[in-house]
Structure 1
Amino acid sequence: MFKILEESDIIALYSDVTESFKGSLRWLNCFMKRYKLSLRRHTKVSQKLLQQTEELLENFCQYVMHLRIENSYELCNIFNMDEMPVYFDMASNFTINPKGDKTIHIRCTSNEKNCFTVMLTCMGSSYPPICIFKEKRMPHGEHLPTGIIVWFQENGWMDANLMKDYINYFKDAVISRPRTPKMMVYDSFRGHLYDSIKKDFHEIGFDLAVIPDGLTSICQPLDITINKPFKDNL
């Protein structure tokens, strides 16, 4: 406001105001109240939906319905998979602190940006989570807990090579029902979209329903209902 009042046009129009203006806390509070402004806690950037969301959503729904009518999938043969980052230090945004402190610190281990990837798969029941760590191989002397699958990748993320491992894993998981029509629903992450990956899925009897880019927050069941409770439990 002080910078605005120093502009020549403003001085010409409001010379009496510029000389007497006091940028007090009361003035600031009245200004914010007048324009319905308030101090807010920092929030994450929300995903903005595309302008053609309704059209994309309608086309995707029709495609899935067409697959279901054509192949008559049993519900236990409709699969959904999704990857998500899990942070080693999942610090809360809240802490207990004496009243009146102007600066609030939250204790952490300086690992709040270090993460690994967890891949979840569900259908009628869930499959064991697959954890992908940022390593080339299993560190010497480490022992894995039961009930999870651990893979390694240099960046700690899913790529085309690990997608082939994932398909081989499912090849063993569904070997008892090779001729039953099955559908896999996943998002349009780049590692999912290689022609070789789609071909490998089709070879083990999976039809693919790829969620269009921008519709994950609407059409990805794991993202909507499972990922947050999973992280909350962690």
Structure 2
Amino acid sequence: TRIGQDTPEDGIAVLEAFAARVDAIVKENDIDVIYNADQTAVNYEYLPTKTINKTGEKTIWVKCGGKTKERVTAMLLADSTGTKHPLFLVMKTAASKIKAVVQENMQQRQGFGNTVWKSIVSMQDDNNCRIYGNPTAWWNAQVSLKFLECHFGQRPDRATKKVLLIWDDFSAHFTEDVVAYAKSINVVLERVPPRYTWICQPADVAWNRPLKSRLRQEWLDLIRRQLRNARKRHVPFKLQPPSRATIVAWIVKAWLDLPSTIIVNGFRKCRLVEGSPVDEDVPGGIMDEAVFAQLTASCAIEDTIDPESDFSNTVDEEGDETIVL
């Protein structure tokens, strides 16, 4: 996302300086592999941004499944060879009011209570990922330490060989404890220039868009299945959001399905490795006319509205969420 008055020319200048700095770090430390880690929010509901039916310049209202504000934080990690590494996910979970229980949950169950933890273990095993929980579903310094330990702490050559990890200039990535631990395992941490992730970070430049497109396609496929089941059972259609286990499976599948060429292309676009970048097509995530017609017939889509007459697109005094396709 571009913020403020930064121009494309500003971005190119910052990118050139950043790429030169990374190149100097690589040469100085005899680094062979560059890693990029980026946290991205994944919504439980991914309504499509496009339809292929002829709707004109109208806003289309789609009734949601009730979880439009629920999300998971996914930490993506891949390296300059094109290798994708297992995901770290952070989910929202209620915190106990008893301090001792909170500490026990963090130390023994990655932030989850005893009952929920049983299902979390199953999800981790089924999807080869790590799942942590906290009341905000957001990243923190404790998870940063676990992340570094998991992905870099057990490297067989960690005592003699340095690697470079590039990630956001986010407070939880650069606490004293995090920086000290990274140094102890020979991980060189480098900040992506603030405000310029859109041009300097491989994940933002090349990975996130196709990842989100694949997630949106999973959501559309779920809608299609629910429509078919409703017709077969002759019952009114009611949109059901994905379960926690389903959203985890979606995220992991979308990540695994990203070709290694997209990963490497991100590093090339950011001038962190040699080679010419290529433009990638991002398929999927478009609602076809048949699904649109079925949703309309089942009243999941309401009448179209002229955006110029719709004040709800800019004013949200009541806190209700507007979904615009």
Shared fold (TM-score greater than 0.5)?
yes
- Equivalent residues of 1:49, 1:214 under 8 A apart: no
Tell me which of 205, 209, 212 is aligned to 1:228.
209
Q: Does 1:157 align with 2:157?
A: no
Give the deviation of 1:152 after TM superposition: 1.3
Q: What is the CA–CA distance in structure 1 between the aligned matches of 2:70 and 2:184, rounded to whole Å?
A: 37
- Equivalent residues of 1:217, 1:223 under 8 A apart: yes
Give the match for residue 170 of structure 2. Answer: 189
Q: What is the CA–CA distance in structure 2 between the aligned matches of 1:80 and 1:130, rounded to whole Å?
A: 14
SS at match of 2:147: helix
Give the deviation of 1:219 after TM superposition: 0.8
Q: Does 1:66 align with 2:24?
A: yes
SS at match of 2:212: helix
Give the deviation of 1:176 after TM superposition: 4.5
Q: What is the CA–CA distance in structure 2 between the aligned matches of 1:175 and 1:153, rounded to whole Å?
A: 32
Which has the higher Rg, Structure 1 or Structure 2? 1
- Equivalent residues of 1:180, 1:205 under 8 A apart: yes
In the superposition, relative to structure 1, how do residues 180 and 111 fare at CA in structure 2: closer, same or farther (>3 Å)? Answer: same
Greater relative contact order (Cα < 8 A, sep 6+): 2
My pick for the range that moved more, 78-87 or 103-112, is: 103-112
Identical-pair percentage? 23
Give the match for residue 108 of structure 1. Answer: 64
Q: What is the CA–CA distance in structure 1 between the aligned matches of 2:4 and 2:190, rounded to whole Å?
A: 22
My pick for the range that moved more, 177-186 or 117-126, is: 177-186
In the superposition, relative to structure 1, how do residues 112 and 177 fare at CA in structure 2: closer, same or farther (>3 Å)? Answer: same
Q: Does 1:207 align with 2:188?
A: yes
Give the deviation of 1:53 after TM superposition: 4.5
Gaps of 5+ in 2: 94-110, 216-325
Gaps of 5+ in 1: 1-44
Give the TM-score normalised by the residue count of structure 2. 0.52
Give the match for residue 216 of structure 1. Answer: 197
The CA RMSD measured in Å over matched residues stands at 2.7
**Paired AA for residue 133 in structure 1:** M
Tell me which of 84, 87, 91 is aligned to 1:129.
87
Give the match for residue 118 of structure 1. Answer: 74
Give the TM-score normalised by the residue count of structure 1. 0.70
CA-to-partner distance for each residue in 1:64-89, whole Å, 9 max, x for gaps? Answer: 12112212211xx2111000000001
Q: What is the CA–CA distance in structure 2 between the aligned matches of 1:153 and 1:104, rounded to whole Å?
A: 35
SS at match of 1:164: helix
Q: Does 1:167 align with 2:148?
A: yes
Q: What is the CA–CA distance in structure 2 between the aligned matches of 1:60 and 1:219, rounded to whole Å?
A: 7
Q: Per residue, is there more helix in 1 or in 2?
A: 2
| Aligned residues between the structures | 188
